[in-house]
Amino acid sequence: MDDGKLTDFEDEDHESFQLRPERSDLGARLDRYVADNLPSLSRGTVQGLIESGHVRVDGFQRKPKFRMTPGEVVTVEVPPPQLDEILPDAIPLTVVYEDADVIVIDKPAGMVVHPAPGHARGTLANALVAHVPGISVGGSLRPGIVHRLDKDTSGLIVAAKTDRGRNALVSQWEERTVEKSYLTLVSGVVEDSEATIDAPIGRDPKNRQRMAVVRSGRPAVTHFRVVERFSNSTLLEVSIETGRTHQIRVHLAFIGHPVVGDRIYGREHPADSYLQRQFLHASGLGFRLPDGTHKQFAAPLPEDLERTLNQIRAQASFRD
């Protein structure tokens, strides 16, 4: 858990949260308490989760009007969208690799991975259902997406087309054997040529819409090495052992070098005038196929990020 009240788990097909009522929550209705502490869920959604048994207090299903007592543990499971809600959208995809079981996509910035309230269409999941009409995972017409990229993060993401593919991918994520690398431009000049950030991540107790490094958060490990230094920024290659929400962005901000263009964890940077999103790209992905063959994939920087680097280099050359 992060601030003594909430723990989240986000690398599965669903999200799970643990809430721990405090003295100030004494007597609060269960539905209102959960909605207040999980602002991404509407009260109506919370009531539906309670009625369907996805919210439990100390392991027991309760009614929405159940009154809270400090010391209880409220577990909230948010299941994935209903299978029949994932409709096919014929969105062009940059396919890096595809076989009978898995597909690797170079996701563009701006594309949401999973359908969610406000993003029922136009997501990667919708595009995959259209791209692979016979996709079947868990006996449904649903792609097996086992990891995520933020909406404004571009780069490599793998999805399963079959149960065989999903089982192979899930086991590797659980064993932390998947190789994930990123390219990112950060504010300031990073002095260390390479380093590791080992700091737990959880919900920010001051702003529950954000994540933060907090002592009681979940373990998170990020490695980086310097690729190129500029006068007021540094290009890094980053790899992660864990996959916490916003991990790279939170860790780099924690050491004083936030990702350039990051509107949540960053700070103003000259590149903000021509960069419309965070400079973060999933450039490398390595894993075993279901038949045991190891594959390594790479995705070049997209045009907007390459253009940003070229402008920074040009400015440096002009000053020289």
Known catalytic residues? 150
The one-letter code for the residue type at 197 is I
Q: Which two tokens stand for residue 254?
A: 């924690």
**What's the chain's length in residues?**
320
Q: Which residue do the tokens 């994540």 mark? A: 211
Coil, helix or strand at residue 228: strand
Main-chain dihedrals φ then ψ at residue 70, nearest 5 degrees: -55, 140
Could you give the C-alpha distances from 228 to 164, 306, 312, 315, in angstroms and in order? 41, 13, 11, 15
CA proximity to 30, closest of 75, 81, 96: 75
Tokens of 64: 């929405």
Closest by Cα among 98, 285, 102 to 178? 285
Nearest to 48 by CA among 81, 73, 26, 20: 81
Using CA atoms, how far apart are residues 106 and 157, in angstroms rounded to an integer? 7
Q: Under a CB-based contact definition with an 8 Å cutoff, are residues 99 and 87 in contact?
A: no
- Angle between helix axes 30-37 and 43-51 (nearest 10 degrees) is 130
